[in-house]
Structure formats: structure tokens, C-alpha cells
Chain A
Amino acid sequence: QSALTQPRSVSGSPGQSVTISCTGTSRDIGNYNYVSWYQQHPGKPPKVVIHDVTKRPSGVPDRFSGSKSGNTAFLTISGLEADDEADYYCCSYAGRDVHVVFGGGTRLAVL
């Protein structure tokens, strides 16, 4: 069981928007602004698409955005494209004892 809870799957049609949630606790997401999101295509290493809750690395389209409310973080992908179909993982800092926790991952299907 992962420390952060994500839906197992979400889906959307090309051009639509989807939002993936990542629920933690007051010991991780709720207490720190260190949430990152990773996109992983089959057989490839993960790629960071959002860090520090809302920041987008250079080269990541502005269709990807991040936010947080309380103990839950969100990744929103707008204008869905076929290549967005992948697994998405959230990650949070969780303090000096636990350090880093990942979510269980969400499979995004672009129908």
C-alpha cells in the first residue's frame, strides 16, 4: 500500500481535460510544498512534469498544471493528446523521518 493515494485509472478524449488526485496526510502533502508529478511511458524512466506543487520544468507543455488543497494534490492535463497516455505518479516530501513518498500511480487512457 502506497503512502499517497491515487486513482488507479482515469480517461479522457483528445482535446479534453483530466485531473488526477493524490491524497496524503498532514505529515506530507498537507505540510510541505514539495509535491512532484512524473509521467512514465511503458519501458521508459519517469519524467518530471511538475515539481514544487505548481512549477513546470522547461520543455513541459503548459497543458500540464499542478495544484494543492489541504492534504490533496492535483495534476491537470488540458487539451489531451494521444502521447499523454501514460502512468502518472505523485511524490511528496514527508519530513525528516520518512523523507519521500510516492503515490501508487494512475494510468491515463486517451480514448
Chain B
Amino acid sequence: QVQLQESGPGLVKPSETLSLICSVSGFSIRDGFFWGWVRQAPGKGLEWIGSINHSGDAYYSSSLKSRVTLSVDTPNNQISLRVKSVTATDTATYYCGRGAVATIDYWGQGILVNVSS
């Protein structure tokens, strides 16, 4: 059974960097698929952030590309997300997931990150 778990700080100060980790179990990242992040601001819809494969090929939302970095840690079976220079508009629940083209078949439970001083 594929399982994903997001972890990281629930509170980040404005202008700082948000860093999250997605730990994957039940499936080796090396074995394929893309691994991505989607976020959801409180009471709002889903927003795709980006995806990365085991080789480190990463694709980013055009609106977030300048501030987002994805990376993959295959020995630890984890992917990570960094969003720099955050503002209150980055407050959201962040989900990681396993997927293919425009499909996510397994999702983590999500982690709420508040951006506030």
C-alpha cells in the first residue's frame, strides 16, 4: 500500500523559506512515476505546485516557478519542497502525491502551513 506523509513546520514567518518533506512508503521512488505537490488555501481550490521524478527532472507551476524548488532523496525515499520569500498568500494545506500526467493516484493527508509573524 503506497503511503505518503508530509512533515515540516506549521508556522513560517513572512519573507522566510517554507520547507516540507514528503516521506513515501510502500513504493520506491526509484521505480517510477512523478512525485508532486498541490496546495489548497483555506476555503479555496486546488493549486498545482510542481512535480519531480526519480531522476530529478522537475516541472513547476509558471506562477510559482521563481520561488519553488523540488528535490528528490532516493536513498531515504523522500521528496522535498522549498518555497522562498513566503507571504500570507502561501498559507495553505500542502499535499504531496504520486502521479502521472495530470493525475495523482495517491495523496498524503496534507499539512497546514500558516505564514504569519
Contacts and interface: CB of A to CB of B under 8 A. Distances in A.
Interface of A: 2, 32, 34-36, 38, 40, 45-48, 51-52, 57, 89, 91-93, 97-105
Interface of B: 38, 45-48, 50-51, 59-62, 95, 100-105, 107-110
Given A45-B107, A46-B107, A48-B105, 16 more contacts: A34-B101, A36-B103, A38-B104, A51-B100, A89-B45, A89-B46, A93-B101, A98-B62, A99-B50, A99-B59, A99-B62, A100-B51, A101-B48, A102-B45, A105-B45, A105-B46
Query: Which secondary structure dominates chain B's binding surface?
Result: strand
Contacts of A45: 95, 107-110
Q: For the complex, would chain A's binding face be called helix, strand, loop or mixed by DSSP majority? A: strand
Nearest to B36: A100
A55 to B, nearest CB: 9
A51 B110 CA distance: 21
B103 A52 contact: yes
A57 B105 CA distance: 8
A95 B102 CA distance: 10
